[in-house]
Amino acid sequence: MKIKCNLKKDDKVKVVSGKDTGKIGKILKVDRKKQRVLVENINIVKRHSRPSAQNKQGGIVESESPVPWSNVMLMCNKCMAPVRIKMQRLEDGKKIRVCRKCSEVIDA
Ligand SMILES: [Zn+2]
């Protein structure tokens, strides 16, 4: 099943499911094919890496791992809370995202 995703890079989101529930971060990358998002400081995993050209000693590297986008919700700057959003079409045909609660425009 395909879920519609209204998330974009640089969005501020709150994690609503999983081990980082309650944390807030910025989206670094959206993977539409896998329906996952990479969020700053969320879902940090430790990877054991072999010595390489970039990292001569090898060892443990910590980095973000993508989470399903159903696990995060977009934050509204006015509500200061994760909110549902709706799409609104402007007169010029441009689509913008709007908070369902307070009607604040989320796209700048
Ligand atoms: Zn709002």
pLDDT tens for 32-85 read: 999 999 999 999 999 888 888 877 888 888 999 999 999 999 999 999 999 999
Looking at the predicted structure, is the pLDDT value of residue 25 above 60? yes
Rounded to the nearest whole angstrom, what is the distance from the C-alpha of residue 104 to the centroid of ligand 1? 5
Structure confidence at residue 55 (pLDDT): 76
Rounded to the nearest whole angstrom, what is the distance from the C-alpha of residue 24 to the centroid of ligand 1? 16
Provide, rounded to the nearest whole percent, the portion of the chain with pLDDT above 90: 77
Confidence of residue 3 (pLDDT cuts 50, 70, 90): low
Can you tell me the distance from the alpha carbon of 57 to that of 49, in angstroms, rounded to the nearest whole number? Answer: 9
**36-39 and 67-68 beta bridge pairing:** antiparallel
Rounded to the nearest whole angstrom, what is the distance from the C-alpha of residue 20 to the centroid of ligand 1? 23
Residues whose CB falls within 8 Å of the CB of residue 53, separated by 6 or more in sequence, listed in order: none
Can you tell me the distance from the alpha carbon of 69 to that of 93, in angstroms, rounded to the nearest whole number? Answer: 27
What pTM was computed for the model? 0.82
Rounded to the nearest whole angstrom, what is the distance from the C-alpha of residue 96 to the centroid of ligand 1? 14
Token pair for residue 7? 């998330």
Average pLDDT, the chain: 90
Rounded to the nearest whole angstrom, what is the distance from the C-alpha of residue 98 to the centroid of ligand 1? 8
